Amino acid sequence: MDSEQLRENAHKMVDFIADYYKSIENFPVLSQVEPGYLRELLPDSAPNQPETLQNVLDDVQAKILPGVTHWQSPSYFAYYPSNSSVAGFLGEMLSAGINMVGFSWITSPAATELEMIVLDWLGKLLKLPEDFLSTGQGGGVIQGTASEAVLVVLLAARDRVLRKLGKNALEKLVVYASDQTHSALQKACQIGGIHPENCKLLKTDSSTNYALSPDLLSKAISDDISTGLVPFFLCATVGTTSSTAVDPLLSLGKIAKNNGIWFHVDAAYAGSACICPEYRCYIDGVEESDSFNMNAHKWFLTNFDCSALWVKWQFLPVENENWGGILLEFEVKVPFSNEASIALHMHDRNALIQSLSTNPEFLKNKASQANMVVDYKDWQIPLGRRFRSLKLWMVLRLYGLENLQCYIRNHINLAKYFEGLVAADSRFEGCKYCLSCQLAHLTWDKPLLGLVVVTPRIFSLVCFRLLPPNNNEDHGNNLNHDLLDAVNSTGKIFISHTVLSGKYILRFAVGAPLTEERHVTAAWKVLQDEASALLGSL
Ligand code: PLP
């Protein structure tokens, strides 16, 4: 790389990106192009001769940006957010600039060590138990996505049990989760060779605000054990993708522990909120889990991709191991090489490594051979890995905890504001009893039936829908589908949908870094106008 060329061109690029952010509100939030639009605009083959950067940027402006859905727009309220920030961007830039591939400690010691430190920092902000931190013999790793995080721990749990029962037991292994769990789990099961019928997505409904019922789980486990199946993995979610349901970690964790099941907690979106003391309660019970993930690239100002995964470190005495019964744990803090570890069966962080490590000759080196270092290649699917911790480090340092907490609280307040707007319009069904909903959530096993209308807002997602005229539910789903299409076609806002208990529900997820109250007010106006037009045309 020629440094003067870099200086000149990178300044131009930064100007281009800064201008993009300055004018981001002028673009339709949801790209309005038709499939295949780009093939018509670009040549069939790559150029023989170099072009100027300006030519390329002109094409980006004229041909690429129209095909971009603007996730950073302040009027983006779809799915879940995918935050960028100056800090996150600078970290990405630095990582791209250094451009090293840190798969083993030796390939860039700073990359491995910074990742361990930064994940310990983040783990402490989340008040994760010491067992999850590298200082407490557990540890964190940055995966590209939550899907990869779930996959690697599922593979670790699978192999842990297959080492004990033999490879033929694979077809008997059972995974549990609620039917609200992200499809990443099903994909992990497919990749992990779990029999499709043994990925048990237990039914949820509005009586638990779509959280997984411990009673249902216990029953499913005992039914499966009685037919010779082997329960081995439970995935709970804090902040489900459809509606931000929170599974009761404490009760679920105890069931998992009593049955020797690996317990994973997926807090991909909502985990960020748990750095605020008032939201930390939603991951109470995480101490019962074996692994935990949250996406810093969703709602934590860290540019995509940055999914944090922690695994707990435990030692199990081999002779007392009982996969079908109570799992005995010892917290023995010994270094890797200590003789004591030979007498113990290690799992969790080590289970991950046992499942995913390879040791080819061309990667051997003194530090790895002596077990003195972490080699993150053994904690993930690919070999190569980026210096992702830089951007998370930048975010943590350039914001500081207090600003990050304010950031989360601001979005939650904006979501409350939107919730109030929905509640004030009798044509819509939202969550009209905020306080009751909060109570209903906190005592999730005793919901205040009849008060929760769609489903409670807990974090910054509001679930709502337009009521069908004359309460004719035959039209309710089509009506809301049409409303979604209509508002997104305006290009003024972008929202998404889900289906809960057979009802088509609109999702309004606040979380883009540039969103202010005026954007929420304007979004509500678009929704109201399109609703009036639809209802008027019926
Ligand atoms: N888990 C939950 C709860 C999610 O909400 C999502 C995405 O929204 C995922 C997992 C998948 O995330 P990723 O795209 O990082 O794999």
Tell me the domain boundaries of the chain: 101-379
CA of 184 to the centre of ligand 1 (A): 7
* Any atom of ligand 1 within 6 Å of the Cβ of 293: no
- CA 268 – ligand 1 centroid, Å: 6
Helix ranges (DSSP H) in 177-292: 184-191, 214-226, 249-258
Is 177 close to ligand 1, i.e. is its CB under 6 Å away?
no
Q: Which of 179, 269, 283 to mutate to test the pocket of ligand 1 (most atoms within 8 A of CB)?
A: 269
Ligand 1 and 269: CB distance under 6 A:
yes
Distance CA 113, CA 136 (A): 15
246 near 212, Cβ under 8 Å?
no
SS3 assignment, position 354:
helix
Between 3.40.50.300, 3.40.640.10, 3.20.20.150, 3.90.1530.10, what CATH number should domain 101-379 receive?
3.40.640.10
Of 137-141, 178-182, 236-240, 430-434, least confident by mean pLDDT is 430-434
235: left (phi over 0), alpha (psi -120 to 50) or beta: beta
Burial class (CB in 10 A: 0-12, 13-18, 19+), 26: exposed
Q: Tell whether ligand 1 has an atom less than 6 A from the beta carbon of residue 241.
A: yes
Prediction pTM value? 0.91
pLDDT at 325: 35
CA 116–ligand 1 middle distance (angstroms):
23
The fraction of the chain above a pLDDT of 70, given in percent, is: 89
How are beta strands 307-311 and 313-317 bridged, if at all?
unpaired
Q: Which amino acid is located at 246 in the chain? A: V
CB 520 within 8 A of CB 79: no
Q: How far is the CA of 78 from the centre of ligand 1 (A)?
A: 13
Q: Are strands 230-237 and 199-202 parallel, antiparallel or unpaired?
A: unpaired
Our mutation pick for probing the ligand 1 site, out of 153, 154, 182, counting the most ligand atoms within 8 A of Cβ, is 182
* Band of pLDDT at residue 448, cut at 50, 70 and 90: very low
Q: Is the CB of 242 under 6 A from ligand 1?
A: no
Distance between terminal CA atoms of the chain? 62
Instruction: Determine the pLDDT at residue 457.
Output: 96
Ligand 1 atom closest to residue 297's alpha carbon, by position in its atom list: 15
What does the CA dihedral 38, 41, 47, 49 come to, rounded to 10 degrees?
A: -130
Q: Rounded to the nearest 10 degrees, what angle do helices 109-125 and 389-423 cross at?
A: 30
Question: Which numbered atom of ligand 1 lies nearest the CA of 307?
Answer: 15
The chain-wide mean pLDDT, for the chain, equals 91
pLDDT at residue number 313 = 76
| CB within 8 Å of 266: residues ≥ 6 apart | 146, 149, 150, 181, 182, 184, 185, 235, 236, 237, 238, 293
Q: Give me the mean pLDDT over the 366-389 stretch.
A: 96
**98: Cα separation from own chain's centroid:** 27
Task: Report CA(267)–ligand 1 centroid distance (Å).
Answer: 8
Is the CB of 462 inside a 6 Å radius of any atom of ligand 1?
no
CA 100/CA 108 separation, integer angstroms? 7
So what's the pLDDT on residue 346? 43
Mean pLDDT, rounded, for 313-330? 44
Whether residue 295 has its Cβ less than 6 Å from ligand 1: yes
* pLDDT tens track for 143-155: 999 999 999 999 9
CA 252–ligand 1 middle distance (angstroms): 21
Instruction: Tell me the pLDDT tens digit for each residue of 61-106.
Output: 999 999 999 999 999 999 999 999 999 999 999 999 999 999 999 9
The reply to whether ligand 1 has any atom less than 6 angstroms from the CB of 213 is no
DSSP strand E in 112-189: where?
Answer: 139-143, 173-178
Indicate if ligand 1 lies below 6 Å from the C-beta of 292.
no
ipTM of the complex: 0.98
